[in-house]
Amino acid sequence: MNAPVRVRFAPSPTGNLHVGGLRTALYNYLFARKNNGVLVLRIEDTDRTRYLEGAVENLIGTLKWAGIRYDEGPDVGGPSGPYVQSERLSLYRDHAKKLLETGRAYHCFCTEERLELMRKEQPKRGLPPKYDRACLRLTQEEIKEKLDSGTPFVLRMKIPDSRVVWFHDHIRGEVEFQSGQLDDQVLLKSDGYPTYHLANVVDDHLMQISHVIRGEEWLSSTPKHVLLYEFFGWEPPEFAHLPLLLNPDRSKLSKRQGDVAVEDYRQKGYLSEALVNFIAFLGWNPGDEREIFTLDELIREFSLERVGKAGAVFNVEKLNWLNFQHLRKKPDAEVLVMLKEYLTQSAVDSKHFDDEYLLGVIGAMRERVMFVKDFVEKSPYFFQRPVQYDLDVVKKRWKTETTEQLKVLIGEFSRLENPQKEDYEAALHRAAETMKIGHGDLIHPLRLAVSGMGTGPGLYDILFILGKDETIRRTTSAIKRLE
């Protein structure tokens, strides 16, 4: 690549960042880093009807959470600013004026009512759904009269007749459009704000963007952009249009079938590493069987050549598996920080649990949790005494003789001094041999007594973490309550 690589992520501040938007940002970031390039964050806020207060801050926060660091943007500055389109309006108006002067654009005074009626009539007459160029037939005198009288107008680009508009796409290869299929796109709205089409072309040129990597939904707009580059006499960037994201039934990803905002997954406790790893595979693959990647590994491996055209299915089960894998790989000290943060935010009183105790819980539960919250939700007995007992386990494991057997076991436990895991196991074996019963006759009811549940990590791990006094206290309480 001869020219320096400069790519951009250009979201609209209309709400929380969509997972598709995060994928676009991620692929741009990976491509920039792989090629020693620059990633620009540009806020495209020219659609004022959909602007949402606080959305820009949310977008920036989400990108930082995901580890995507841009080099230029509204909060970090750079040589091509400002990076918010509403602060660049004079640039768009100047360029729209140039198109008007060269006959590449024209005034359109049609009202919304007329356009709506036109759109309803066209299908009945077998016509394609596009502007009928009524205002292109106005004389200069008629245009001047309307302008002088203050009639609202928009500026439309004049699509050339009978042209083949061609461009190369890194993912789709050679792409052609007949100009007759294209609408005379509005470039400047009646409120003086540009449409996406004008603003993004002007900004991409002025910001020296070398590659436009964006979603497939913009593919049909690209010929209009190619024409605008031609109208201005500019060299267009290279294009790469990413495949659609699909629901499991292969319909387009939508809220109707699940969460689509990154914030939703963040609030549910997904790790940023897992979500980034998962989203990287929605269209791209490394060409081998590897599935678990860090961000740095993705940078080393990523290429546009390995991005496919086919729609990518958003499989939450795969995301869950990746979250489990990434959580497993984290060192205990890092998980400890996350667990303490979760305890602080939840209703659990964390003052009673020191780091050593929590590290014990982490060690016991690490292979059984998918999320940090699971340390509490799947093993609540580490954080509070059982208030109820699994009735199915009670019926199956708590027999008439269990009470007396556990009392003997409590006697063995009470004689222990600073017991380790193996000491609890040896004491239970002694009690079972004394009473001439199987180890399971004690293990299962003891687990129920201390945890209220019939499953979980190793029993002796639980006893060691809880400690001798708490183990005896819980077993005694269970005897009284279940007798």
pLDDT tens string 190-201: 999 999 999 999
The pLDDT value given to residue 3: 78
pLDDT tens string 354-384: 999 999 999 999 999 999 999 999 999 999 9
The pLDDT value given to residue 2: 66
Confidence of residue 49 (pLDDT cuts 50, 70, 90): confident
What CATH number belongs to 257-329? 1.10.1160.10
pLDDT tens string 277-305: 999 999 999 999 999 999 999 999 999 99
Whole-angstrom distance, CA of residue 22 vs CA of residue 20: 5
Say how far residue 441 (Cα) sits from the centre of its chain. 49
pLDDT tens string 324-353: 999 999 999 999 999 999 999 987 777 789
CB atoms within 10 A of CB 176: 9
- What is the topology classification, in CATH, of domain 331-379? Helicase, Ruva Protein; domain 3 (1.10.8)
> Which residues on neighbouring strands pair with residue 177, listed in sequence order?
165
Q: Which of 270, 266, 262, 277 is nearest to 19 (CA)?
A: 262
Is 255 among the catalytic positions? yes
Confidence of residue 405 (pLDDT cuts 50, 70, 90): very high
Helix/strand/coil for 8: strand
The pLDDT value given to residue 379: 97
Q: Which of 140, 108, 101, 131 is nearest to 231 (CA)?
A: 101
pLDDT tens string 230-280: 999 999 999 999 999 999 999 999 876 778 999 999 999 999 999 999 999
Beta-strand runs (E) in 205-296: 211-215, 238-242, 245-246
Instruction: Give residue 446's identity as a one-letter amino acid code.
Output: L
Q: Which of 441, 434, 432 is nearest to 398 (CA)?
A: 441
Question: Where do the domains of the chain lie?
Answer: 88-242, 257-329, 331-379, 385-483
Q: Which CATH number fits domain 385-483: 1.10.10.350, 1.10.8.60, 2.40.30.40, 1.20.1440.230?
A: 1.10.10.350
Q: Name the helix (H) or strand (E) containing 119.
A: helix 112-124
Whole-angstrom distance, CA of residue 333 vs CA of residue 355: 9
Say how far residue 48 (Cα) sits from the centre of its chain. 25
The average confidence (pLDDT) of the chain is: 96
Whole-angstrom distance, CA of residue 364 vs CA of residue 423: 17
The pLDDT value given to residue 1: 46
Name the pairing type of β-strands 186-188 and 154-157: antiparallel
Whole-angstrom distance, CA of residue 143 vs CA of residue 100: 13
Given the residues 255, 268, 329, 407, the one annotated as active site:
255
Quick one: 88-242 is in which CATH superfamily? HUPs (3.40.50.620)
Beta-strand runs (E) in 82-199: 105-108, 154-157, 164-169, 173-178, 186-188
Mean pLDDT of 203-231: 98
pTM (2 decimals)? 0.93
Q: Which of 427, 422, 417 is nearest to 461 (CA)?
A: 422
Q: Which of 271, 321, 324, 276 is nearest to 302 (CA)?
A: 276
**Inter-residue contact 355 to 460 (CB < 8 Å):** no
**Inter-residue contact 38 to 4 (CB < 8 Å):** yes
